[in-house]
Amino acid sequence: WRFAVMEVAQLKDLEEDFGLAKRRYAELRRQKRIFNARNRIIGGDTEAWDIQVCDQKIKEATEKAGQETFAAEMRQNDKIACISEDRERRDRKNLCKAINNFQQSFQKPETRREFDLSDPLALKKDLPARQSDNDARNTVSGMQKFMGEDLNFYQRKKSQEEQNRDWSLQQQREWKMARANQKCAEDLYLKTRLQFDETAKHLQNLESTTRKAVCTAVKEFNKNQALESAEKKIQETKQDQEDNLAEISNLLCGDLLSENPQQAASSFGPHRVVPDRWKGMSREQLEHIRLVQKQQVQERLRLQEEERQRDMDWDWQRVQRARAALLLERQQQCQQHDLRRALDCNNLSLAKEQHSQKKYMKEICTNHLTEDYFAQFNTRSR
């Protein structure tokens, strides 16, 4: 039991010693890193940078090796693909050759089921379309016998020519009869046209005679109308002259030219007039207006004088107020100057007292620094 307790204590001490040594080693490394001026100024971990550069080189070498392996695999795959393509092309060629040999040996054209459709000697081997008009093969659906293609072609052609000649003679007879009928119709049309022309000529003569009579009557009517119009114009001119003379006499004797003031009187009141008849104001009215204008001028001068007097009063009051403000400002400046002088004297006395106190404290509390005071700095990294 005693041995076990000593062993546990020794293990615990070893752990504490190991932790202490580890912390001392870390403190030494930290002091080396902090007290090194180059690392402190640059502010970087060169060892970490070297490790990172080494890791980057290892990574690049690994990537390069992987790329080379991938390229080798790609080249191997290309070779395998080329070999497979050549083998496939050779197999296809052999298959096509075997198919051609089989077709030439076992699939000849004459052994096919539909060879009779493309046989070049089919026309030589086939029978004629028909041997006579009563051949059993000449069915309706076979379309081997049409009208006009029988064996009695020449006899039928001769009978057709005789029939065409009879038709031609009949057409000539019909054409001659039609010409005779057309000639009779043209003669009848010509006679009728001549009768119509005679009738139109007679009607035209009657129309010209009637037009002449109408023109004569119109001329007579226009002549009478012109005479009546001239006489009417003479009467109108005479009436206009009489009316003008009457109007002139009325104007000369009327109120407009005689300038009667009563003609401008308005029916709405004595203070209103008719503008188109008013000939101006009378002498009394003009005198009254001038008198009113003079009174207005005098009133205007009186108001201007009052306003000028009022402005002068305001100016005098403004000057008095400005003078009072200036005196007050000067008095305030004098008071501020006295206060500033008193404050300066107080500050000067305080400065003298502070200077004497500092001199006294410097003589009493004198403590010179030694090298031990500066040696206690930068001994640890914390």
Query: Could you tell me the residue ranges of all domains in the chain?
Result: 2-102, 202-237, 313-344
Answer whether 30's CB lies under 8 Å from 379's CB: no
Residue range 9-40, pLDDT digits in tens = 577 788 888 888 888 888 888 887 777 766 66
How far apart are alpha carbons 303 and 295 in whole angstroms? 12
Regarding pTM above 0.85, the answer is no
Largest distance between two CA atoms of the chain: 180
How far apart are alpha carbons 104 and 187 in whole angstroms? 92
Q: Which of 269, 267, 250 is nearest to 258 (CA)?
A: 250
Going from the C-alpha of 156 to that of each of 145, 149, 153, 210, 355, the distances in angstroms are: 16, 10, 5, 79, 168
Residue range 35-66, pLDDT digits in tens = 776 666 666 666 777 888 898 999 899 898 88
Out of 105-109, 130-134, 258-262, 264-268, least confident range: 258-262
State residue 367's pLDDT score: 62
> Which of 115-124, 125-134, 200-209 has the highest average model confidence (pLDDT)?
200-209
State residue 1's pLDDT score: 43
